[in-house]
A and B are shown apart, each in its own frame.
Chain A
Amino acid sequence: MPKPRSRTPLRVAAILLAISAGAAYAQEAVSREDYDKLKKEVEQMRQELAEIKKAKAAPAASDEVAALRKEVADLRKSKEEQQKEDDEAHEELFKAVKEIQAKANANAAAGTKFLITGDAAIGFTGQRGTDSTFSAGVAPRFLWLIGDNLEFDAGFDINIGRDDGGSNQTTFDLTIASASYIVNDYLVVGGGLFVVPFAAYHRDFDPPWINKLPDDPLVFSDGGLAPGSALGVFVSGTIPVGPTRVNYSVYAINGPELNTTDGSLGFDNFTDQNNNKAIGGRIGWVPIPQMEVGYSIMCGRASPDTFASTNALLQAVDFNYTRDVDWLMGNVSLRAEWVFSHVDRADYGTPDAPLTFRNDRNGGYVQASYRPSHVSNKYARNLEFIFRYDRMDVPTEVSALGPGLSGWEQRYTYGVDYWLDARSVLKVAYECDEKGNAPGASQFMFQFGLGF
């Protein structure tokens, strides 16, 4: 049996090799101290590298900012230049518009300025003894201002109703056709068909959006004592007198025309029936802005050439006072006017039955109204409460001439208005009427009045 070979030398060699390898490894390994040192150096190098990078990148960012700044500056400059150009363009445009506007104003001043104004009314009346009825009317006015001083005024009164024969009719009356010229700050001259400044009602209070009641006072209604419009010439103006002011009007007109059957005066004397012209005027005193007191006078021959010469003298006083009263929380208005008419004695009868009488007629009205315009309730402050007393006296002898000619008539009118705005109003009123020798004609009235 062969003897196995011994493996001991191999084992020894392997051990030696392992030891030598371990020694070699042990000789190449880094100690902890070296490792930390090395790590520190690496950290320093990284830090230095970062700083280098940063230093290298910084100039690039600065350049970019500078470039941007330059770009912004350029843009700003460009914008400023553009703005300057725009401003110049706007200035030129504005200048051109101004020039055109000035030319237009100059042309307008030299030309005609025009305004349509006026009033309208829609009503309902239920009167004792007659059938109730609706009514409507409109009164447009056309105003032309020519230059700064000359004005032409045309006014119409358009109404519907029945004529004396009972037929339906539409009346179209020319009430104003006048020219007026401003001479200076205190003087106006004019002529044509104008509202006679006799008393104040027809001139100041007649339109339905100013008159607080649906009808006119007796002396200022048809068949009354005061003239409305008349043909003639006038001068008027206002003069400051101390702390007050005085209004004046003087005129010459065709004058009233005498009704030779009953002695009454008519004022539609469009073609004068005699060669005499009536002269008149009004003077008004305004002691405080809230009040005016006026006196009017007019005189002239009233009879036609075919009748005995008969002169008429009319006088009137008027008073208007309007103001806010704090403790009443509203506005109070007082108006009063009275007219005195005298016509010379004349014979209105026939040769067989002469009729003469003292032909004095007078009448007027007193009106008070209150509007609680300062209360908080918006409906209540649009209400207005009105009371008016009006009366007209005519000679009792006249009543013998016709059934409708009573010696006197007086009325008490109670009204409530509701103002829709400053120039449109709903009115409701009841009027108690009394006549000297005839049954009274009391009536209920409703009206919508509008100014435009």
Chain B
Amino acid sequence: MAISIFRSLIVLGAFAATCSLAAIVGCQATATTATAGATTIPAGTAPAVVSGKSGAQIWSENCGRCHNIRSPSSYNAVQWEVAVHDMRVRANLTGEEQRKVTEFLKAAAQ
């Protein structure tokens, strides 16, 4: 088992190095505008923390990392409240992110 763990750690290290390289390279790409229905994440070196970001920006960045961004009109205000709460648990949003995204989607849904 010890050999297996050692081998796994080597793989993990190589993987982390590859990912870091990808992050550095990726940060040099430029931003583009949004397209309806498509996953759209603005490029740049903006930090991942939420402070100062709008609900729309948090929504775009976090949701778009895994799937296409749904139209705010696809749910009503109450449904968005439930959906964002669920995504907080499932996709690990902070409380502040959840509140901002919920506020944005509830306003946009009306």
Q: Which residues of chain A have a CB within 8 Å of any CB of chain B?
A: 108, 113-115, 117, 143-145, 151, 153, 180, 182, 184-186, 188, 190, 195, 203-205, 209-210, 236-240, 242-245, 247-249, 284, 286-293, 295, 313, 315, 317, 319-327, 331, 333-334, 336, 338, 340, 342, 344, 360, 371, 373-374, 381-382, 419, 421-423, 451
Q: Which of A184, A190, A342, A374 contacts B32 (CB 8 A)?
A: A374
User: Chain A contacts of B93 at CB under 8 A?
Assistant: 238
B54 within 8 A of A: no
Q: Is B89 touching A247 in the complex (CB atoms < 8 A)?
A: no
User: Chain B contacts of A185 at CB under 8 A?
Assistant: 94-96
> Mind listing 26 A-B residue pairs with CB under 8 Å?
A115-B82, A143-B82, A143-B86, A145-B85, A185-B94, A209-B67, A209-B68, A286-B48, A288-B48, A289-B48, A290-B43, A293-B15, A317-B16, A319-B22, A324-B42, A331-B39, A331-B41, A333-B39, A334-B22, A338-B11, A340-B4, A373-B35, A373-B40, A374-B35, A419-B68, A421-B71
A-B contact number at CB 8 A: 205
CB neighbors of A among B1-40 (8 A)? 1, 4-5, 7-8, 11-12, 15-16, 18-20, 22-23, 26-27, 29-33, 35-40
User: Chain A contacts of B74 at CB under 8 A?
Assistant: 422-423
Q: Is A210 touching B66 in the complex (CB atoms < 8 A)?
A: yes
Bound form: Cα–Cα A421–B71 in Å: 9
User: Chain A contacts of B92 at CB under 8 A?
Assistant: 236-238, 247-249, 284
| Contact flag A371-B39 (CB < 8 Å), given A240-B50, A344-B1 | yes
A287: nearest chain-B partner, CB-CB: B23
Give 10 new A-B contacts, CB below 8 A, not counting A209-B68, A325-B29, A451-B70: A182-B85, A240-B49, A244-B47, A247-B92, A289-B61, A292-B65, A340-B8, A342-B4, A373-B40, A422-B68
Q: Is A381 touching B86 in the complex (CB atoms < 8 A)?
A: no
User: Chain B contacts of A245 at CB under 8 A?
Assistant: 48-49, 94
Bound form: Cα–Cα A190–B83 in Å: 17
Bound form: Cα–Cα A315–B23 in Å: 23
Q: Which of A236, A323, A331 contacts B89 (CB 8 A)?
A: A236
Q: Is B95 touching A319 in the complex (CB atoms < 8 A)?
A: no
User: Chain A contacts of B5 at CB under 8 A?
Assistant: 313, 342
Q: Is A423 touching B68 in the complex (CB atoms < 8 A)?
A: yes
Minimum-distance CB pairs A-B, first 10: A185-B95, A243-B47, A373-B38, A289-B61, A247-B92, A422-B68, A115-B82, A422-B37, A324-B32, A373-B35
Give the Cβ gap from B13 to chain A, nearest Cβ, in Å: 10
Q: Which of B22, B30, B69, B88 contacts A188 (CB 8 A)?
A: B88
Q: Is B11 touching A319 in the complex (CB atoms < 8 A)?
A: no
Give the Cβ gap from A207 to chain B, nearest Cβ, in Å: 8
CB neighbors of A among B51-110 (8 A)? 51, 61-62, 64-71, 74-75, 78-79, 81-83, 85-86, 88-97
Q: Is B86 touching A153 in the complex (CB atoms < 8 A)?
A: yes
User: Chain B contacts of A144 at CB under 8 A?
Assistant: 82
B50: nearest chain-A partner, CB-CB: A240
Q: Is B4 touching A145 in the complex (CB atoms < 8 A)?
A: no
Q: Is A322 touching B41 in the complex (CB atoms < 8 A)?
A: yes
Give the Cβ gap from B43 to chain A, nearest Cβ, in Å: 5
Q: Is B94 touching A186 in the complex (CB atoms < 8 A)?
A: yes
Q: Is A290 touching B26 in the complex (CB atoms < 8 A)?
A: yes
Give the Cβ gap from B24 to chain A, nearest Cβ, in Å: 9
| Contact flag A288-B50 (CB < 8 Å), given A113-B81, A381-B38 | no
